[in-house]
Structure 1
Amino acid sequence: RLREEVLSGVEELLMEGVADLAICGFSIPGYLGTEMSDVEFVAVAHPEHTLHRMNRELSFQDLESQMQVVIRDSGRQQPRDVGWLGAEQRWTVGSLATAAAFVGSGLGFAWLPRHMIERELAEGVLKQLPLEQGRSRHPTFFLYSNKDKPLGPATQILVELLRTFDTAPLDAPFAAPQQA
């Protein structure tokens, strides 16, 4: 069963013993994670968005007055506002896919994973914001396992698949690891 959680929600499920595996973009205290790849998040908006019509590099103050689309932390105990600039207005949504749909419809700006929005960028549905600084973010993701119970055979295979996929060149066809 796959659950999509965000920020502290990932940590909570791992610590509660609900998750066998977890992937997140921060270090979880008390767990040894396997470092995975960085994921590039780029600041984007619809090409007709007010921010693009300024026709110049944008500052923090320019962003602050605009609607930002942020992903809701799914944690219940200590939710975080990672990535929110403190803009006066924001849409809080439950997933990256919903955020991309909102931004693509002109409802705000957001930092979204480049690999998720490549087609929208290529087709001109989204356009990267010309920020003075912070045009992209590169958090490193970590793979964690539940330290209180051993991984079963299927979960071990999944770990190997994740590692293989994570280290494969982006343009390489994906192939499952070979069993010994």
Structure 2
Amino acid sequence: MYRPKSTVEQWRIFQAVVDCGGYAQAAEKLNKSQSSLNHAVAKLQQGLGLSLLEVRGRKAYLTREGEVFLRRSRKLTQDVESLERLADVLASGWEPVLRIVVEASLPRGPLYQALADFSRQSRGCSVHLVETQPAGCQTVIAKQAADLVFASRAYPGVTSLPLATTVYVPVCAPSHPLTRLREVGQPDLERELELMLADGSEQDEGWARAEQRWTINHLHDALSLLRRGVGFAWLPQEVVGPLVNNGVLQRLPMANQALRKRFTHLILPASAPPGPAASLLLSLTRHYYGQQEGTAGPS
């Protein structure tokens, strides 16, 4: 079995001597005797079989080997400090991991902003962010396999908070035949290929659908096909707005200015109240979605 030749405390003392420029200064900073520091570093060098420091006058200088070990030892002591801080965090009830599931068809700009803020306050908590389809959301909720779920509909028996309204608008490539019409009615759409996000909307809210449909699982795939002139799609205004402004896509001039809307719901699958990390992310999420709701509107 491997036996360590050094201790974390020896490496901390070695670093202090280097940072302070000598044993006397390091002893004062660490509130230890100078002889104890000399002994610790001597024992460290003896165990390694290498000279890490050279004393000239009252100052300690790194050897070439010492420069290498100083860099590596700093990571070691930082990792130990992180482990000890993590133990304190977990002892306080802070969750080590948050699992977040997002329905693929939903825009998530405010969630990203909330996560950016959370990262600066996470205290070592890891985040697992997973994208799935409505059926996947339903399974995760039934198994209570996530802390937060973002879905386009509420589910019975679990806490559900309506966060924001997502507005969907019809778009296609500028080269698509539909863009030649001054006004587009439902009969015009019914004759064209529709790229339909797999968000369950074909059974929801009575949305009329084209007879020719491709079901697309991911928003990225729908956008890639639209750019190539394939079909039209009803997509979140938040996502396609910049592409329309840049001329990459074109919004169809609907005869009745039809807009389709859907809520983004935040669902807490677990029966127990959220822990402190989940509560923080929940608060940040509601804040940023609230900002979006206050400023959003049809363009």
**TM-score normalised to structure 1 length:** 0.80
**1:9/1:86 Cα in 2 relative to 1: closer, same or farther (>3 Å)?**
same
Asked if 1:13 corresponds to 2:151, the answer is no
Higher helix share: 2
Residue 277 of structure 2 aligns to a residue whose secondary structure is helix
- Confirm whether residue 157 of structure 1 aligns to residue 280 of structure 2: yes
Residue 19 of structure 1: how far off its partner (Å): 1.9
After superposition, the Cα gap between the structure-2 partners of 1:111 and 1:140, relative to the gap in structure 1 and judged at 3 Å, is same
Aligned residues: 166
What residue is the counterpart of 1:27 in the other structure?
Answer: 154
Query: 5+ unaligned residues in a row in structure 1: which ranges?
Result: 74-78, 173-180
Q: Which has the larger radius of gyration?
A: 2
Residues 62-109 of structure 1 show CA distances to partners (whole Å, capped at 9, x for unaligned) of: 111211111235xxxxx7734774433222222112212211221111
Q: Which of 188, 208, 211 is the matching residue for 1:62?
A: 188
1:170 and 1:81, CA in 2 relative to 1: closer, same or farther beyond 3 A?
closer
5 Å-filtered alignment, 1:116-135, equals 116-133=239-256, 135=258
For 2:202 and 2:136, locate their aligned partners in 1 and report how far apart those are by CA, in whole Å: 12
Kept in 1: contact 2:158–2:271 (CA 8 A): no
Instruction: State the Cα distance separating 1:155 from its structure 2 match.
Output: 1.6
The percent identity for this pair of structures is 30
Normalized against structure 2, the TM-score is what? 0.50
Q: Provide the rounded CA distance (Å) in 1 between the counterparts of 2:187 and 2:294.
A: 38
SS at match of 2:279: helix
When structure 1 is superposed on structure 2, of 149-158 and 81-90 the one drifting more is 81-90
Distance 2:237 2:209 in 1: 23
Higher relative contact order, chain-length normalized (CA < 8 Å, sep 6+): 1
Secondary structure in structure 2 of the residue aligned to 1:13: helix
Structure 1: 4+ residue segments shifted above 3 A: 79-86, 169-172
Q: Is the 8 A contact 1:111 1:136 kept in 2?
A: no
Do the aligned partners of 1:14 and 1:21 also contact (CA within 8 Å) in 2? no
Amino acid at match of 2:174: P
The letter for the 2-side match of 1:146 is P
Structure 1 CA distance for aligned equivalents of residues 290 and 214 of structure 2:
34
Q: CA deviation at 1:135?
A: 3.1
Unaligned runs of 5+ in 2: 1-127
